[in-house]
Amino acid sequence: MSDGDKLVILVTGGTGLVGKAIKTVVEEHGERQDNEQWIFVGSRDADLSDLEQTKKLFDKYHPTHVIHLAAMVGGLFHNMSNNLDFFRINMKINDNVLETSYQTGVKKVISCLSTCIFPDKTTYPIDETMIHNGPPHSSNFGYSYAKRMLDVSNHAYYEKYGKIFTSVVPCNVFGPYDNFNLHSSHVIPGLIRKLHDVIMSGGGVFTVLGSGKPLRQFIYSIDLARLIIFVLREYNSVEPIILSVDEKDEVSIAELATRISEAFEFKGEIKFDTSAADGQYKKTASNKKLRSLLPTDFKFTPFNIAITNSVDWYKSNYKTARL
């Protein structure tokens, strides 16, 4: 293997949920190829909303490929009260990463979007052609529009410079190393943390915000990591690609709460606080494009197993988890 064939893959947001999952798949599951050098960086390595720090990071590692996961993120209620910050900070991060990638000759950038960027008023299932068909849900418009602009930037870099800057659109991600802060987490880690706190305090009631009726597709972080690595190696289009479980695997928040309580072997009561907002009712995404490209033997981790793995990880690591 000549030096020219060597891939130096920089993973921004490499200390977060998806970055840790990619590192696990590469280093522990034997997915690293001989010509690949993987570098995982987090906010302690550089503030990517600062252009000079971004340039210094790229000058240090000289990546040939970038998996761009870094973002200001949060759950429904954190988004609702901070739309301006989510928009401004994520716009800066994304512009700095893409422009620095172009300036330093990076061959390929894969940026991570989210199904929450799709229009609030739409038909289902949503697919990759529908991202810009209307405004996103008002609860998280700042984050959603900033993420949408990554797709706009990707097409602009391709049109002007022929760069393969592309994006993946995962459904709701969960797993080990998630953010378990009750004020800024997504739904699964938030519920895991909440129920664990109830059990540790000897309580008998597990209260879930909202009606429990909204429907979501959830993807285990290890499965998403495998798919992102597949995109890195095999997918060479600027067009975005949805990385999601199948439509039939969509579950309600009420069913999710039940699955989590079963994983904890919780025998108490589950209550729903209907005074809290539900957010978007559903975001059903089609993975038809992904399925057309994947090997036929690819299998997602069964939901019950993935939830149990996540609960077990938190029970073993809650003292050092992101809270």
Task: Give the tens place of pLDDT for each residue, 204-241.
Answer: 999 999 999 999 999 999 999 999 999 999 999 999 99
Give the 3-state secondary structure of residue 11: strand
Residues 6+ apart with CB under 8 A from 22: 11, 14, 38, 40, 67, 225, 228, 229
Q: Which of 143, 220, 235, 314 is catalytic?
A: 143
- For residue 239, tell me if it sits in a domain: yes
124 is catalytic: no
Q: Given this model, what pLDDT does residue 80 score?
A: 59
Q: Given this model, what pLDDT does residue 75 score?
A: 57
Distance (Å, whole) CA 177 – CA 42 = 13
Residue 279 binned pLDDT confidence (cut-offs 50, 70, 90) = confident
Token pair for residue 67? 């998996």
Residues 6+ apart with CB under 8 A from 197: none
- For residue 275, tell me if it sits in a domain: no
Cis amide prior to 125 (ω within 30 degrees): yes
Residue 56 binned pLDDT confidence (cut-offs 50, 70, 90) = very high
Q: Given this model, what pLDDT does residue 3 score?
A: 46
Strands 215-216 and 251-252: antiparallel
Token pair for residue 26? 């590469």
CATH number at residue 140: 3.40.50.720
Average pLDDT value for residue range 27-49 = 94
Contact at 8 Å (CB) between 39 and 8?
yes
- For residue 311, tell me if it sits in a domain: no
Give the 3-state secondary structure of residue 192: helix
Distance (Å, whole) CA 140 – CA 75 = 9
Distance (Å, whole) CA 46 – CA 295 = 37
- For residue 104, tell me if it sits in a domain: yes
- For residue 259, tell me if it sits in a domain: no
- For residue 185, tell me if it sits in a domain: no
- For residue 208, tell me if it sits in a domain: no
Name which of 175, 222, 168 is nearest 22 in CA terms: 222
Give residue for tokens 């991202």: 131
Residue 161 CA to chain centroid, in angstroms?
28
Strand (E) positions, 217-279? 218-220, 241-243, 251-252, 269-273
Output the pTM of the full model. 0.92
| 148-152, 183-187, 290-294, 306-310: segment of lowest average pLDDT | 183-187
Give the 3-state secondary structure of residue 285: strand
Q: Residue 138 belongs to what domain range? A: 3-178+217-246+284-302
Contact at 8 Å (CB) between 237 and 301?
no
Residue 1 binned pLDDT confidence (cut-offs 50, 70, 90) = very low
Residue 288, pLDDT > 70, answer: yes
- For residue 278, tell me if it sits in a domain: no
Q: Please give the tally of structural domains in the chain.
A: 1
